[in-house]
């Protein structure tokens, strides 16, 4: 059935390691939802607000010497601003929010990647987000070496996270898969090690099924497009 733009909002996140194609997919999902008549807020982390953009520049600065917890607190401050100024207002207005990264990234990168205590990270994440969790998370699963090759072939710019060793990114990816295992009802894993059109088709199929089941709407169109 046709989408009803007056329905309540929903919160969808796209997660995955560096180079997995999150930004491209988030844009494609947002465009598809807009075409179907939904009001959509496309956003991203770290960033999404004025404060978040300033903190993004700090946390990714390869010349800035940060401890693992200093890095974490900067990400969390950016997320707190993102939730209060962008995500919650959009949800309250009945929009569907699609965020390129969210709280799972902190658990994967700072928890599994940096080795910080996962349960403590969950607690501080919960404080930063005011308990707001996504309704649906699409996790793009791509071998870390492939993802790094993609990102490093696209740009010569350096950043603290992207410049980390392959082993770090492999731990991050393993962390994402573990998070998917313990949150199977929310996190859907999508194989990103294939042509981008196939990845997009799989994600749109998942989104259509989720909308039909959770919101009572069926997203029009062919899943193979």
Distance CA 55, CA 41 (A): 21
The pLDDT of residue 155 is 75
- CA nearest 12: which of 203, 152, 194? 203
Mean pLDDT taken over the chain: 91
Identify the DSSP state of 72.
H
Token duo for residue 10: 């929903």
**Higher pLDDT pick, 6 / 171:** 171
Residue 221: per-residue pLDDT: 46
pLDDT at 154: 83
Judge if pTM exceeds 0.85: yes
First to last CA, the chain: 19
* Residue 219 pLDDT > 70: no
- pLDDT, residue 8, reads 63
Count of C-beta atoms within a 10 Å radius of residue 194: 11
pLDDT digits (tens, 9 = 90+) for 160-176: 898 999 999 999 999 99
Domains with residue ranges and CATH for the chain:
10-215 (3.40.50.300)
pLDDT of residue 220: 47
Percent of residues in the chain assigned helix, strand, coil, to nearest 5: 55, 10, 35
Residue pair 2/124 in contact (Cβ under 8 Å)? The answer is no
Rounded-to-integer distance, Cα 190 and Cα 185, Å: 14
Token pair 């082993």 is at which residue?
Answer: 167
Q: Who has greater pLDDT, 216 or 218?
A: 216
Asked whether residue 3 carries a pLDDT value surpassing 60, the answer given is no
Question: 15 near 170, Cβ under 8 Å?
Answer: no
Share of the chain above pLDDT 70, in %: 91
| pLDDT-above-90 percentage for the chain | 81
Query: What span, in angstroms and rounded, lies between the C-alpha atoms of 159 and 157?
Result: 7
Please compute the mean of the pLDDT values over residues 115-124 and round it to a whole number. Answer: 98
Q: How confident is the model at residue 223 (pLDDT cuts 50, 70, 90)?
A: very low
Tens digits of residue pLDDT in 63-110: 999 999 999 999 999 999 999 999 999 999 999 999 999 999 999 999
pLDDT at 160: 87
Q: Where are the beta strands (DSSP E) in the chain?
A: 10-16, 40-44, 96-100, 136-141, 187-191
Per mean pLDDT, which range of 56-65, 127-136, 187-196 is the poorest?
Answer: 56-65
Integer Cα distance of 36 and 4 in angstroms: 9
């Amino acid at each position: 059935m046709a989408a009803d733009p007056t329905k309540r909002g929903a919160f969808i996140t796209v997660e995955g390691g560096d180079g997995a194609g999150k930004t491209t997919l988030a844009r494609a999902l947002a465009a598809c939802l807009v075409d179907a008549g939904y009001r959509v807020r496309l956003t991203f982390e770290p960033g999404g607000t004025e404060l978040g953009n300033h903190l993004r520049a700090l946390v990714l600065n390869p010349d800035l010497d940060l401890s693992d917890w200093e890095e974490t607190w900067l990400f969390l401050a950016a997320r707190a601003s993102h939730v209060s100024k962008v995500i919650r207002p959009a949800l309250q207005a009945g929009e569907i929010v699609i965020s390129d990264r969210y709280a799972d990234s902190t658990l994967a990168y700072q928890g599994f990647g940096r080795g910080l205590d996962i349960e403590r990270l969950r607690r501080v994440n919960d404080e930063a987000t005011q308990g707001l969790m996504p309704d649906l998370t699409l996790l793009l699963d791509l071998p870390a070496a492939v993802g790094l090759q993609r990102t490093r072939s696209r740009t010569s710019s350096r950043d603290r996270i992207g410049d980390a060793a392959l082993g770090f990114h492999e731990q991050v990816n393993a962390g994402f898969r573990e998070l998917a295992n313990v949150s199977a009802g929310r996190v859907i894993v999508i194989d990103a090690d294939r042509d981008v059109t196939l990845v997009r088709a799989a994600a749109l199929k998942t989104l259509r099924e989720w909308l039909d089941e959770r919101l009572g709407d069926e997203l029009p169109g062919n899943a193979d497009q």
